[in-house]
Amino acid sequence: MKGFQVKRLDKNDVSVLYPAGFLDAHTVPQFESALSELVENGRYKIVVNFKDLDYISSAGLGVFMGFIEEVRNNGGDIKLCNLSDRVYKVFDLLGFPALFEIYNQEAEALEKF
Amino acid sequence: MTKKLTRHFLLIAILGVMSVSFLFDWGGLKNLGLFNLLGYVHEGLSVLVIWLVYLYLKSLHLFNNKNVQYNLKLIVINLISVYVLVFALKLIFQPQFVTIGFPPQTNDLKTIIYSNLVSLIGLFSMVGFILALRNLIFYKPKKNTRIYFYSSLFFLILTAILTSVLKAPLDLSFSGNGIYNNGTFVLTLIFLFLLSLRNSWITYLSRKEKLYYTFIAILILWGVSYIFDYAYELPVAYHSLAQAVFINGSWFFLFFYTLTSLIYLMLQLPTARIFERKMQEVSSLQNLTRAISVEMDTNKLTNLITNMIINVTGSHVSWIELLNPHENRLQVLATKNLLLQDVSKLKNGALKQLSTQILNDKKTLVLNELTTAQKNEYFQGFRSKINSLVITPIIGAQNQFLGLLYAGKSSVLGFDPDDVNLLEAFANQVAIALENADLLQKSFERERLEKELQIAREVQMRLLPQTLPQLKAYQLTTETITAYEVGGDYFDFIPRTDANQLGIVIGDVSGKGTSAAFYMAEVKGIIQSIARQNHSPAEILGYTNKVLATSLEKKSFITLTFAILDSQRHQLKFARAGHCPLVHFKAKNGQIIYHQPAGIAVGLDRGQIFKDSLQEHLIDIDLGDVLVFYTDGLSEAMNGKLDEYTEVRLADILKQFADQPVEIIKKRLIEDVFKFVGDHHLHDDLTLILLKRIE
């Protein structure tokens, strides 16, 4: 079974999500609920740290699109960091670098808020 | 037909024998000598008449109805008719008997006629009583009922014969000859008494009927106790001792039975209400179980249940609140006798505190004496008067909380433990019903989804081109392999206004199922409508994005590659909206080039970013070059170790077989993909377009 977990750490007014394992069509609802929890609590400054993510399918990317508009309208953003080559390739293929800020290190992402 | 004939014959026989018997009386023959032989003949005829009357009445439909009320009515009519008839006969014939010895005597013709008529009436009436009582006794027959019934009839007839032979009165004296006929008479009475205890029909009467029948039974008992003295004693005894005994015996039977019935009725009066309640409970639970097995509509079921609660427990108001699992909120349903204002108060959570308490305890709450404070707290401003309230939780098979069942009465102390038990039983039934309905709903849902997927799959298949365009100097082949779930792969070929050009499009709609198939149809429509004109790939993709971005769901996107092949200039101009790279095998040096111009997927941005990011590439195609368009079903095909197939493996196959015709390359490539995934089935659709320049 391809496992997936997502942890959350709040660093001041920025929340960092740590998805781990496989993010595909089957596990994406878990990640989606983690994001929607943040949005519901009005925490619009979000960093997603992919250091523990082994795999993301193209279906897993849609979830970001579901929230980005609302987040940005509320003065926040979703910034991505620590993408492995394999994960970055999927983002890159779909053109996400044109839509999202992507950083190598979490600290850089945090700084940009 | 024969039955009818038999009946007519019986009636004629009765009248015939009675006439002969009358002649005996009239001529005084029965008291003449010859050892009183003619008297015996006369009594024999009398017994025969009893038997014939019994057979005749038994053959009538009148006495073949087991219905209790019907038979009780027969008895009453029978009794009243006898009084009326005998009264009339007494007026007409003015009978006079000499009552010094036994049996009574007379020489008066009018009295003789009167006696004969009264005897006949008596026989019909008494046999009628016996048959009606028989129907009541056999309402719930037990093992010995039939034996008792026929034994008592047998001994009664035997007593009648013995009495007429011995001419000893039935005074229960047991002296002299009287020992025989009195002995059999006692046996008759014992059996009749045993039969009189068979009044089980009374148990199942409703409370009202029991009360009503008690008064009727008193009147009948009074009527019965006088009828023998009033109508039969003298005339029948004069006419025939045998018939007198029979009438006397059956009168005892009628009297006993009326008496025991009255006693039974009176004994059951105090428990009638409880018994009726229990009967109602049993039948309502039965009805409910039956209803649950056929009725799957939750609204109808809950309505049925609140109706039953009102009827069976005598509650004034009742309603059900069901937990809505999606909103985690109680929903008010099936309110009975509650005014709309009160219902809206309930919907606003008037009883929230109580329901939370029960939700935690999972136990029934009985509030039999609501204090003023409680009423003010829970029922502030309620129009319905509620002074006692029972709330029962509805608990499912997995001990999960499904809802609450409420019953309220306007009186204080309205609910006894029986009511509470019953309400809990109802709550259990509701739980079963809800779970049944839920299971059914789920299986419907699954079936519907499967059907939907099948339709989506069919739609998707019909959207793909069914024939390949013929190209000069190029070989073209395609492949679509569908996974178990419906994917959103799409490809198409669009002829251009310039006959040397061919539009090639490949794409993948994110998400699966029906929505993917619909988006695909939309993409096809948009592209078909503009791709024929002289637009560039970037313009076509930009327009597609503009149209689709507004209608696509936020989470959905579509990757697309649009290419225009110019088969005269041997060039391919293409743009890529987030789709997999174009894999290019160069025959000249055996190298693989991955063409991945910038571009974001359709639907991710509404306008400017999409346009700005989109780049167009122009590729020269040399002789022997192979171009491969594919979807991520190929590059992301996964094996058991969760490795992906990737473009690298695709490139290896291309390098090995690029000199072969495209059909062979395709065959080898697909073989290799399936070898790679092994037992790990494809989880997404896989689409391939192979293009090779051969001239």
A65 touches chain B (CB under 8 A): yes
Which two structure tokens, joined as six digits, stand for B521?
């149809």
Q: Which residues of A touch B636 (CB under 8 A)?
A: 57-58
Cβ of B600 within 8 Å of Cβ of A95? The answer is yes
**Phi, psi dihedrals of residue B618, rounded to the nearest 5°:** -120, 125
- Could you tell me which of B694, B690, B693, B683 has the C-alpha nearest to residue B650? B690
Within 10 A of A59 (CB to CB), how many other CB atoms are there? 20
B609 lies within 8 A of chain A by CB: yes
pLDDT lower than 50: segments of chain B? 33-34
pLDDT, tens digit, for every residue of A2-51? 689 999 999 888 999 999 998 887 888 899 999 999 999 899 999 999 99
DSSP label of B369: S
What backbone phi and psi angles, to 5 degrees, belong to B286? -65, -50
Residue B99 phi, psi (nearest 5): -115, 35
The beta-carbon neighbor of B578 closest among A25, A66, A93 is A93
As a whole number of angstroms, the distance between CA B385 and CA B407 comes to 12
Nearest to B362 by CA among B323, B327, B421, B403: B403
b/e per residue B254-292 (b: at least 16 CB within 10 A): bbbbbbbbbebbeebeeebeebbbeebbeebbeebeebb
C-alpha span between B594 and B577 (Å, rounded): 15
If you search the block for the tokens 């029906």, which residue do you land on? Answer: B514
Residue B565 pairs in a beta bridge with: B502, B572
C-alpha–C-alpha distance, residues B407 and B310, integer Å: 8
For residue A96, the chain B residue with the least C-alpha distance is B600
In this predicted structure, what is the pLDDT of residue B42?
82
B291-440 matches B468-693 in fold = no
The 3-state DSSP class for residue B686 equals strand
- Does B554 contact chain A (CB < 8 Å)? yes
The partner residue sitting opposite B555, judged by closest CB among A63, A93, A96, is: A63
Cross-chain Cβ contact A66/B599 below 8 Å: no
Query: Nearest Cα to A39, choosing from A65, A67, A80?
Result: A67
What's the CATH number where A99 sits? 3.30.750.24
Cα separations (Å) of B387 from B312, B315, B317, B414? 18, 11, 11, 8
Of the options 3.30.450.40, 3.40.50.300, 3.90.580.10, 3.60.15.10, the CATH number for the domain spanning B291-440: 3.30.450.40
Cβ–Cβ gap B511/A59 under 8 Å: yes
List the single best residue of B510, B648, B684 to mutate versus A (max A Cβ within 10 A): B510
- Kindly give the pairing relationship between strand A4-11 and strand A14-23: antiparallel
Helical H segments across B94-170, by residue range: 109-137, 145-166
What token pair was written down for B653?
A: 């196959």
Cα separation of the two ends of chain B: 105
How many domains does chain A divide into?
A: 1
In this prediction, residue B485 carries a pLDDT of 62
Rounded-to-integer distance, Cα B653 and Cα B669, Å: 6
Q: Where are the domains of chain B?
A: 66-270, 291-440, 468-693
> Can you say how many angstroms the Cα of residue B79 is from the centroid of all Cα atoms in its chain?
47
With beta carbons less than 8 A apart as the criterion, state whether A92 and A73 touch. no
Per-residue pLDDT at B88: 94
- Residues present in chain A in total: 113
Q: How many CA atoms lie within 13 A of B386 on its CB side?
A: 28
Q: Write phi, then psi, for B388 (nearest 5 degrees).
A: -135, 145
- In B, minimum Cα distance to A3 occurs at B642
Taking the C-alpha atoms of residue B410 and residue B690, their distance in angstroms, rounded to an integer, is 82
Q: Which helix (H) or strand (E) holds B250?
A: helix B241-268
Selected for mutation to probe chain B from A68, A91, A94, A99 (highest B CB count within 10 Å) is A94
Taking the Cβ of residue B648 and every Cβ of chain A, the question of whether any pair is shorter than 8 Å is answered with no
**DSSP assignment, residue B413?**
T
* Inter-chain CB proximity A58 and B508 less than 8 Å: yes
* Residue tagged 């204090």 (tokens): B371
Q: Would you say how long chain B is, in residues?
A: 695
Q: Which of A110, A39, A33, A35 is nearest to A74 (CA)?
A: A39
The type of residue at B23 is L
**Residue A45 vs residues A15, A34, A77, B586, B609: alpha-carbon distances, Å:** 6, 14, 5, 48, 22
Task: Round to whole Å and give the CA distance between B256 and B250.
Answer: 10
Backbone φ and ψ for B620, nearest 5 degrees, come out as -90, 135
Residue A19: give the domain boundaries.
4-111
Q: Give the fold, CATH level 3, of B468-693.
A: Phosphatase 2c; domain 1 (3.60.40)
CB contact at 8 A, B577 and B559: yes
In Å, what is the CA distance from B397 to each residue of B326, B402, B431, B436?
Answer: 19, 10, 8, 11
Tell if the CB–CB gap between B556 and A62 is shorter than 8 Å: yes
Measure Cα distances from B289 to B295, B405, B430 in Å: 10, 17, 10
Q: Do B555 and A66 touch (CB under 8 A)?
A: yes
Q: Identify the three-state secondary structure at position B395.
A: strand
Q: What is the pLDDT of residue B4?
A: 81
Amino acid type, B111 = T
Interface confidence (ipTM) of the complex: 0.89
Q: Which two tokens stand for residue B71?
A: 């038979």
Sequence-separated (6 or more) residues with CB below 8 Å from residue B95: B106, B108, B110, B111, B114, B115, B234, B235
Residue whose C-alpha is closest to residue B242's, from B173, B184, B175, B191: B184
How far lies B677's CA from each of B60, B487, B580, B633, B681, in Å? 88, 18, 20, 12, 7
Taking alpha carbons only, the member of B14, B116, B1 closest to residue B55 is: B14
**Which candidate, B526, B614, B512, B507, places its Cα nearest to that of B555?**
B512
Cβ of residue B599 closer than 8 Å to a chain A Cβ: yes
For every residue of chain A, which 3-state class applies, written as one string? CCCEEEEEEEECCEEEEEEEEEECCCCHHHHHHHHHHHHHCCCCEEEEECCCEEEECHHHHHHHHHHHHHHHHCCCEEEEECCCHHHHHHHHHHCHHHCCEEECCHHHHHHCC
DSSP assignment of B535-573, as one string?
--HHHHHHHHHHHHHHHS-TT--EEEEEEEEETTTTEEE
CA-to-CA distance for A80 and A75, rounded, in angstroms? 17
